[in-house]
Amino acid sequence: MKYATPKGHTNKKMDSGVYQQRRQVIDILYKVKSVLRSNGLEMPRIDIRITTKDKDVTSCGVAQMRGKFIWIPETTLTKPYLYQTVLHELCHAIWGVNHDEKCKLMHPLVQLDLTDEQAEQIFLTYAKKLSL
């Protein structure tokens, strides 16, 4: 199922450069799948789009709630919190988890003190609780 591109974002047309950008997110998905499998869990197929975003858009990523579809702006790909962003968007896309200001991973704003390892542990907690 295809979803409309989020407001303020424009899907980039696929070429070798966009493929390399998309590959960064795909590599994270493979890592997450491996972590989940080592815990006896599976992850569904997730569609990924790389976007450009309007200058007034502040989001680091967007997901279709329970739609297994995520959009990552190209500007996020160079940020140290890319892994955190992908895990955050996966929680939306897979389980429909809402923002939670008490959770460092699902906080509506990037938590710069959250390490990749901590983000992964929180993600794994959601996975076990909500079961894939």
pLDDT tens-digit series, residues 93-126: 999 999 999 999 999 999 999 999 999 999 999 9
Q: What is the pLDDT of residue 2?
A: 62
Q: What is the pLDDT of residue 29?
A: 98
Q: What is the pLDDT of residue 12?
A: 95
Kindly state whether residue 5 falls inside one of the protein's structural domains: no
Instruction: Show the domain range for 25.
Output: 10-130
Q: What is the pLDDT of residue 18?
A: 96
Q: What is the CATH number of the domain that holds 14?
A: 3.30.2010
Kindly state whether residue 4 falls inside one of the protein's structural domains: no
Q: What is the pLDDT of residue 22?
A: 97
- pTM of the entire predicted model: 0.95
Percent of residues in the chain assigned helix, strand, coil, to nearest 5:
40, 15, 45
Residue pLDDT, tens place only, 24-64: 999 999 999 999 999 999 999 999 999 999 988 999 999 99
Instruction: Report how many domains make up the chain.
Output: 1
Work out whether the CA dihedral 100, 106, 108, 110 comes out positive or negative: positive
Q: Is 7 helix (H, G, I), strand (E, B) or coil?
A: coil
Q: What is the pLDDT of residue 90?
A: 98
111, 87 contact by CB (below 8 A): no
CA 50, CA 35: separation in Å to the nearest integer?
24
When computed from its CA atoms, the radius of gyration of the chain, rounded to whole angstroms, is 14
Q: What is the pLDDT of residue 131?
A: 76
Kindly state whether residue 1 falls inside one of the protein's structural domains: no
CA 74, CA 53: separation in Å to the nearest integer?
8
Residues in the chain, how many?
Answer: 132
Residue 81 pLDDT > 90:
yes
Kindly state whether residue 106 falls inside one of the protein's structural domains: yes
